[in-house]
Amino acid sequence: MYVVGEGDFLAMEVVSRFLDVNKSISRLVNCGIPSSLCRSGDDIVRQPLLKKEFELEKIPSPWLNGVQDHFFDGKLIPMIETNRGCPFRCTFCVQGTDYYSRVAHFEEDQVKEELTYIARRLLKVCPQMGALMVADPNFGMYKRDVDISVHIGTLQKKYNWPTFIDCSTGKNAPELVIKVLENTNGALSMLHAVQSVDENVLKSIKRSNIKLDTYKTVTEYLSANGVHTSSQTILGLPKETLQTHLTGLASLVDQGIKSLQNFQLMLLKGSEMESQDSRNEFKFKTKFRLSPRCFGTYDGEAIFDIEEIVVSTESLSFDDYICARNYHLAYMVFWSQGWFDDLFSFAQNVGIKNVACVEAVMKEMNSDDGAIGRFMKGFVEETKGELFSTSEECFRYYAEDRQFGKLASGKIGDNLLNKFRAIASFLLWPQICQLMIRAVKGLIVTHGSEKLDLDIELFLDDLYRYIESRHACGWTLDEIISPVSCELQYDIPRWVACGYQKILTPYKLEKPKTFLFKLSENGAKEIRDSIETWSADLQGLTRVARYIKLTSQVRQCV
């Protein structure tokens, strides 16, 4: 039996009636449970849908009643829900339907009690866990969210938790979102999920975005106050082409968005986009893949959560899809982590746009026949290899003992962008850094403004050593958290503090000096706690890279 809509309000009703009919499936079908869907022989029996429930206080807190205490294992991340529903009508989202259009809120005091309970429990049994997930579709869009964020700030001071918050911030009310970000002390970043910036695409999915100039103003304010900003796009939306998709990414980057999250269109059951009419209208071609890390063995049976994604449309070919995914990888590694902010800032000062740097990087990646070439080839192979023609084919593949063993060990089945971001961040950092400097050096020397020092290449070599040394990397915990040093002929830290000046002579040292780089005490602790939680193998590092603050991996030049 399936319950349509919100299952928690009917779960007790289903179980109660099941017991009333002496656990008879055939008799349960005839009980007339509202909002239910079940099979009777060859027929489907569907009962009328109940109206959406707004009294969320009827749901007992799974935190405060202790039901979830045994899940505090130091690896699972606690997740809370402060509201349900979404006022927006996006056709790719189940919450874009009429049923979810009105928003209901859990009691604010209960939410705060839950957060306090989680913080105390973590401190007692697994203090190394620093992350929190908030399941709301628009956290920070309501005035009460500001009060909740103040409470989170109090918990941070008392329990040093959460250090990282994973959630989707509100699409409107930017002034409230800003307050929420400020109150959570860097644990939360501004997420503006544009999905696309093309008006034809937005119209086709019944979505409107904050005006880009308004968003640019918010971004500039947040960046000036040290708050990280990010945006989301979805590849494969109706009427989106490769060019409009890449143009959208470029416009976000040139506005100063610090991080891009690029997803592929999933056809979610119950959404308007998943209907047969939409499939026919937009000529969707789909494949099936395992939802990242969503598998297990239950009662001796292998279970997989499989998702259907769009890999081509009437306006986007499969080759375009692969090309866009390569760009997603490049933006993930070379832009979204902030690893090369100093180099991007200097390039801008000499007249080169951010997007031109990314294009130069793509050219270098495509022509590289070394470690980065293999890195990119591996990403493409795994991108194609995770796609199956049917859900059954996907199931059979992963249910085979050898493949299931690879899943269990973490060798396969993870989010590919996160996996390859971890490889770049921890295992291939020197080669990543070399390629970036090589690509941008060519741009600066060839297309930069005329007033550049004759020793520009010497300076860029120093800047490469500085950028490489600042980023903590390695194959073991000791390697990652250990200080490093390098010899520089320019005072790069002073040059950075002065705003990336084009005139370099004032920063040339009389003789080379050795500079020491080390993680902050808090940064080293967060990395150590995260690796002790998830391990230093690739599966663990993928989660470490996903759930630590970007600043924690930055060595300070001391």
Q: What is the pLDDT of residues 286-328, one digit of tens each?
A: 999 999 989 999 999 999 999 999 999 999 999 999 999 999 9
pLDDT tens column, 112-126: 999 999 999 999 999
Longest Cα separation, the chain:
90
Distance CA 122, CA 126 (A): 5
For residues 201 and 239, is the Cβ–Cβ distance under 8 A? yes
For range 82-99, the mean pLDDT: 91
Q: In the numeric block, which tokens belong to residue 158?
A: 């008392």
CA 394-399-404 angle, to 5 degrees, is 110
Determine how many CB atoms are found less than 10 A away from the CB of residue 23: 9
pLDDT at 7: 85
For range 521-531, the mean pLDDT: 93
Distance CA 287, CA 308 (A): 6
The H or E element spanning position 127 is none
pLDDT at 212: 61
pLDDT tens column, 355-364: 999 999 999 9
pLDDT at 161: 96
pLDDT tens column, 482-503: 999 999 999 999 999 999 998 9
Q: Say whether pLDDT at 217 is over 70.
A: no
pLDDT tens column, 370-417: 999 999 999 999 999 999 999 999 999 999 999 999 998 888 899 999
pLDDT tens column, 132-166: 999 999 999 999 999 999 999 999 999 999 999 99
Domain ranges of the chain: 2-46
Bridge-based pairing of strands 164-166 and 508-519 is unpaired
Q: What is the mean pLDDT of the chain?
A: 91
Q: Say whether pLDDT at 216 is over 70.
A: no
